[in-house]
Chain A
């Protein structure tokens, strides 16, 4: 292999933000809404039960003066549910030859690019609620940190399987094409 050290024209490098991003399954945002809704329903139920069981707490909870606070809390929860739904529906992803791009966030719009050669392993995850909606999450683990830095949720069975298969194949043969042609 001959050694070359050509100048890199930075302007001519592929641009990470020129990709066409794909949406997740349309069932994902409802799934997130349902799971957040369940969570808050349980919390509300817990508080109501506590109010019924304990006399002191109950009298404050069910009194008229507590109503504005409860309405306020209700509005807050409503807003949180909206945020959960919106953040879920805003997620986009794209797969390129050498990396995967993930776009998340409503206010803090974040594009994370994960080079395929740095993926250690891929995990396919399905929570109990995901099963009802028929969706999977693909978690890509890179080295260090110990927790997931990249996950694509809301994928239906076929997309998840295809994507996982592609990623696994690319992981094993990460830079073969470059070195093979050198």
Chain B
């Protein structure tokens, strides 16, 4: 254990006291796994590489089936069987290449892995950043007595080091050694405490040992869910899926219409213009109605019985009618709180509250389903939720630094130009009466400009102590709340025009999302950047 007095100003915390040199020359530790030169993977890793490649490319490979089917229908039908063989050969070759060109080693301060021949990529994962060391035994490695060791950190998904097909005993000794090295590194670094008690893979369905999840403090009634269903286009997901299905099976809408026995020519041919328009409008209304109903149904199924519980450290959300979900979120993991409100929400004085965590789980990954969203919250109720995470006065009352009027000017011009282009295009097509087209365009223009104006007025940034609040929106107002301590990096963007006008754009990067606030006064923007950097760098706080 190192005393504070031994820590030098350069941060070289490892003196002769524990015999670990601070540079990254490989080191032989007593009782450690062999950690010297670059080591290769064992031949059995080929199996694992092949399987994980197949799984990863699974979706793409599935297209091979209709491809085979298609080819077998042409005159090249003998070649159809060669497709899977070719694909298989490619996969094996790729796995072989990966096997040959992957090396790993464990140095005094990090575990490194190097892959690739043409594009050589070396990943260096220092011990202090290790979150989890996991041993997994896939069924095809288990009979061989081998396992995969994966080391991941709290960073991006790419910084995971996976050493495939180690002998089981090797994997276990490496794991305990890495764990010990991690703990030793943590003792040296100031944010070690927060990093140490996070186990990354624990999100999700888990109850406390006692079975209690905390104090109930927020629920949603059926009425709220109906409103949420109406104000959100979740129905489009269903519709898109159905349409996608149909498209893949090759049935066209014409086939459906024929099947239903509707003959459009007869119907439309007999109608006058007025009736035709009425039929069209009715059809539109019915479609919207059906979509709305679908949306409400989906909302009820997903969020029925919504209940949020709190403890000092966690929030737990339970919801769902058919599949009951239980999502546990450690409060410290929340990166930003997003208050989102579209135009319908605005009319009904409601908003949806999103508690955003790390997002490097790609879409569709199980972790993505664990996003915490509180649907259809009344404006006055918002504080009940935000107070649990970062107490802040009601966002409506904050003083926001507005966007420069240059932003409005620029976008008003862009919108106008776009409209001119579209109208010219339509006029040249010569399908519609040019007079009507231009008249319609002139009528629409003020509405478009009004929307641009509203979007400009909605934009802004407020600094409230350690919290930043970015405001945006067109009709509905969206707020993005995040503490400066959660920032990963910050960027300042300016074009030559902006420089002349004294405005700049700020881009805040948190672990959950990128937040852009454009066209802020330059002096204010600069001070915000310097303050954010000070906040992150001078006061060591963990963002997890």
Contact = CB atoms under 8 A, between A and B. Distances in A.
A145 B511 contact: yes
A163 to B, nearest CB: 13
Contact of A113 (B158, B190, B360, B533): B533
Contacts of B540: 117, 174-175, 178-179
A175 B190 contact: yes
A122 B543 CA distance: 19
Contacts of B157: 146
Given A10-B530, A17-B526, A99-B533, A144 B4 contact: no
B156 A144 contact: yes
Contacts of B491: 110-113
B120 A126 contact: yes
Nearest to A144: B511
A124 interface: yes
B488 A118 contact: yes
A117 B487 CA distance: 11
A117 B537 CA distance: 7
A3 interface: no
A39 interface: no
A171 interface: yes
B9 A110 contact: no
A172 B156 contact: no
Contacts of B543: 118, 143
B454 interface: no
B527 A10 contact: yes
Interface residues on B, range: 35 or more
A128 B119 contact: yes
Interface residues of A, number: 57
A62 interface: no
B512 interface: yes
Contacts of A169: 10-12, 22-23
Contacts of B188: 172-173, 176
B47 to A, nearest CB: 27
Contacts of B527: 10-11, 13
Contacts of B121: 123, 125
A116 B536 CA distance: 9
Contacts of B530: 10, 13-16
B102 interface: no
Contact of A121 (B155, B487, B538, B544): B155
B210 interface: no
A114 interface: yes
Contacts of A179: 190, 540
Interface stretch (B80-88, B125-133, B397-405): B125-133
Interface in B58-114: 109-110
Given A147-B156, A180-B4, A118 B536 contact: yes
A51 B487 CA distance: 52
Interface string A122-158: 1111111000000000000111111111100000000
A173 B11 contact: yes
B492 A16 contact: yes
Contacts of A148: 156
Interface stretch (B278-286, B305-313, B431-439, B493-501): B493-501
Interface string A8-47: 1011011111000000000000000000000000000000
B125 A121 contact: yes
A122 to B, nearest CB: 6
Contacts of A174: 11, 189-191, 540
B120 A125 contact: yes
Contacts of A165: 23-24
B13 interface: yes
Contacts of B120: 125-126
A86 interface: no
Given A121-B155, A168-B126, A178-B540, A146 B360 contact: yes
B159 interface: yes
Given A120-B154, A174-B11, A178-B539, 14 more contacts: A13-B531, A17-B526, A105-B493, A112-B489, A112-B507, A115-B487, A125-B119, A146-B362, A169-B12, A172-B109, A173-B189, A176-B7, A177-B9, A178-B538
13 contacts: A16-B530, A98-B537, A112-B507, A113-B492, A117-B540, A121-B129, A128-B118, A141-B158, A143-B543, A144-B358, A164-B124, A165-B24, A178-B538
The 5 closest A-B pairs by CB, nearest first: A120-B155, A144-B511, A173-B11, A175-B540, A98-B537
